[in-house]
Amino acid sequence: MLSNYQQFFYGSLGNLSVVMIGLIIVWSLVWKGLALWRSAKNDQKYWFIAFLIFNTVGVLPIIYFVFFQKKGKSK
């Protein structure tokens, strides 16, 4: 038999945690996919390998986009 606390956790908070985990996974996949695509396009092998190995919930790809991405050619 579950206590009131356990019923509350498994009922409402349990569903919330599943949603949060799902959102974190989507967030991470979007940033990782964009960073992998951009690093491959810019021929940056070491960044590509780092994105494949490390899961940082989007932090490493954001740092890459802000500081290390090659700038496009201006016309």
Tens digit of each residue's pLDDT, the chain (75 residues): 666 666 666 666 666 777 888 899 999 999 999 999 999 999 999 999 999 898 888 889 989 989 988 776 555
| CA–CA separation, 26 and 58 (whole Å) | 10
Taking residue 39's Cβ as centre, other Cβ atoms within 10 Å add up to 23
**Cα–Cα separations (whole angstroms), residue 23 to 19, 20, 36, 69:** 6, 5, 20, 26
- What pLDDT was estimated at residue 30? 93
pLDDT score of 57: 83
